[in-house]
């Protein structure tokens, strides 16, 4: 099992001390080594390609935990580590980097200056990945090294910590429900027809109109002749 603690934690604790201009608390030599109990890894159980996968590593109980360095393994073909997404317990200095070629993420945290070590139930770190491709993405601890306030060190048995798995599926493209434009040819609109009995029967009205005009002219002529005849006989 690889160990990353000597350089990474030394650099982190030195940077933390420099931030406050203080030195680490030096406890008696008999001080107990740091302990972390009940470590769990949880992750978003299902996601689609492009979604965010949130991962949290927590402990049910810690004792005198001043600094720790976690190495996390993941499938870089399925997941991309989101730089700057890691959050650590308040009151400390944290650093998160990833080596995508090896599928490893390194998560380091240290308390600041003379701050006391962590105790009790603690969220050690939370961060996110971006889902890249479909598949079962396994996220597991490769190593976990601990430092106490007296610089005592310890390592966790990571083989006893269950990994987390995120099932990533491809994005399903739904078929379009927009109806396509109609291509049917509209029915021909008949020309306007004149109203009236002759129009409804389909008979040509022109001849009847001529006959009517002639009849009216004959009646008018007859009336004129009748009026003249009366005038003569008077």
pLDDT for 7: 47
* Backbone φ and ψ of 113, nearest 5°: 50, -120
H helices present in the chain, as ranges: 5-20, 197-201, 206-233
Q: Provide the residue ranges of all domains of the chain, joining segments of one domain with +.
A: 5-169, 197-233
Confidence of residue 176 (pLDDT cuts 50, 70, 90): confident
Name the architecture of domain 5-169. Answer: Sandwich (2.60)
pLDDT > 70: percent of the chain: 62
CB contact set of 55 (below 8 Å; sequence gap of 6+): 41, 42, 43, 44, 72, 126, 127, 128, 129, 139, 164
Predicted confidence (pLDDT) per residue in 135-172, tens digit: 999 999 999 999 998 889 999 999 999 999 999 999 97
Q: How many C-beta atoms lie closer than 10 Å to residue 2's C-beta?
A: 8
* Whether 4 contacts 95, CB under 8 Å: no
> Kind and range of the H or E element at 153?
strand 153-155
Predicted confidence (pLDDT) per residue in 90-130, tens digit: 989 999 999 999 999 999 999 998 888 999 999 999 999 99
What's this model's pTM, rounded to 2 decimal places?
Answer: 0.65
Predicted confidence (pLDDT) per residue in 15-38, tens digit: 444 444 433 444 344 456 899 999
* Backbone φ and ψ of 178, nearest 5°: -75, 125
Q: Structure tokens of 37?
A: 């109990």
């Amino acid at each position: 099992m690889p160990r990353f603690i000597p350089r990474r934690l030394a650099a982190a604790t030195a940077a933390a001390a420099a931030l406050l201009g203080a030195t680490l608390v030096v406890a008696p030599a008999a001080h107990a080594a740091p302990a972390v109990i009940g470590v769990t890894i949880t992750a978003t159980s299902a996601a689609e390609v492009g979604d965010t996968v949130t991962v949290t590593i927590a402990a049910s109980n810690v004792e005198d935990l001043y600094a720790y360095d976690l190495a996390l393994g993941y499938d870089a073909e399925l997941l991309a580590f989101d730089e700057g997404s890691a959050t650590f317990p308040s009151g400390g200095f944290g650093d998160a980097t990833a080596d995508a070629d090896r599928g490893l993420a390194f998560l380091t945290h240290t308390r600041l200056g003379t701050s006391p070590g962590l105790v009790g139930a603690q969220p050690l770190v939370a961060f996110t990945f971006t889902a890249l491709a479909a598949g079962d993405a396994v996220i597991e601890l490769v190593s976990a090294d601990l430092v106490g306030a007296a610089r005592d060190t310890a390592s966790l048995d990571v083989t006893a910590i269950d990994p987390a798995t995120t099932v990533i599926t491809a994005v399903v493209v739904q078929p379009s429900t927009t109806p396509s434009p109609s291509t049917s040819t509209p029915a021909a609109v008949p020309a306007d027809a004149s109203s009236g009995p002759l129009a409804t029967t389909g008979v040509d009205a022109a001849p009847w109109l001529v006959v009517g005009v002639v009849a009216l002219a004959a009646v008018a002529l007859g009336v004129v002749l009748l009026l003249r005849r009366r005038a003569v006989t008077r």
